[in-house]
Amino acid sequence: MKLVTQVRYGIRILLDLAMHQSRGVIQMRDIAERQNISLKYLEQLIRPFKKAGFVNSKRGRNGGHSLARSPETITLAQIIMVFEKDQAKQDISRLSEGYSQYQDALITEAWNEAKDAFYQRLEKVTLANLSIGTTKKLWQDSDILIL
Amino acid sequence: MKLVTQVRYGIRILLDLAMHQSRGVIQMRDIAERQNISLKYLEQLIRPFKKAGFVNSKRGRNGGHSLARSPETITLAQIIMVFEKDQAKQDISRLSEGYSQYQDALITEAWNEAKDAFYQRLEKVTLANLSIGTTKKLWQDSDILIL
DNA sequence: GTAATATATATTATTTTAATCTATATCAAA
DNA sequence: TTTGATATAGATTAAAATAATATATATTAC
């Protein structure tokens, strides 16, 4: 259970876009430099965000990317799910001696509910939450942490 | 977020041991046959269970494996954790423009709490829970499901 | 029409997961 | 004390997922 690179970079990409919203569109080259991500890899990572409607893009000269939704509405859970593989084909466990559909159903149900619990917690963190600390830097200048 | 083979097989191995407890030690060859798992792979999977104190083994002729703890005390969460990799070296995210320790801490905290929520749900399913349905086969002979 | 941008697809490299192979240690029974 | 049945250990191979790079193409502002 590991926070994969795709997600870690994904968060930074969206955060970067969020924090430079005022500039209009942002070029991927700039994000790549600021975030120390290879441009080519970045291009690959931003595609799912476009597809999922988190990011708009404009081609051609003076083109670039921008956030399509407000930072308050984008959560960690959503970002992670953007990179979740299609598991529709989730391999149906073969049954065997002492392992019936009944067992399988119990396990699957628990598994799914556990996943839900996981994502529910991550729904509580939005891009907006994450931005505040940096722009204001309150967290390092004071003992009082204002969120 | 996927139920990996190691875990799916792991559950079956322990369930198999649980359901044949009365016979004393069980040979891996038998488990392999019953559960359709390659003997060699099985040998590899059972090692972590031994290390974690779930399973006892006896070498030599008439040797085999047996459950070291009662099925009521073994949960799905525990089984999954047996196969969790050591993530002590969890790669410390490099900071960058607009990505501070503060952000990193927020994310890490949420992530850890989300994991906890996940495992908490899976603590509720024990090997004993899983065994009942099979040994009694009530679930397929009746409309009333007694758990 | 040309330079700056995104898009698309293919390729390579690395890591993780799954499975097999070979050799060794241990023990019970004959 | 030998022999055969078992577990143990470590190496090897195969397949799949993840991470990263490369090359060629499509759009658009100027």
For residue range A95-107, list pLDDT tens digits in order.
788 888 889 999 9
Which of A103, A114, A125 lies at the smallest CB-CB distance from B106? A125
pLDDT per position as a tens digit, A63-86:
999 999 999 999 999 999 999 986
pLDDT at B140: 39
Q: Are B138 and B145 in contact (CB under 8 A)?
A: yes
| Shortest CA to C1' contact from A55: nucleotide | C6
Please state the φ and ψ torsions of residue A105, each to the nearest 5 degrees.
Answer: -65, -40
Place of tokens 């525990």: B78
pLDDT band, very low/low/confident/very high, at A143 (cuts 50, 70, 90): very low
d(CA B127, CA B73): 8
Residue B81 structure tokens: 């954790």
Is the pTM of the predicted complex or chain greater than 0.85?
yes
Question: A37, A103, A127, A137: which to substitute to probe chain B, counting the most B Cβ within 10 Å?
Answer: A103
In this predicted structure, the answer to whether residue B1 has a pLDDT above a threshold of 90 is no
In this predicted structure, the answer to whether residue A42 has a pLDDT above a threshold of 50 is yes
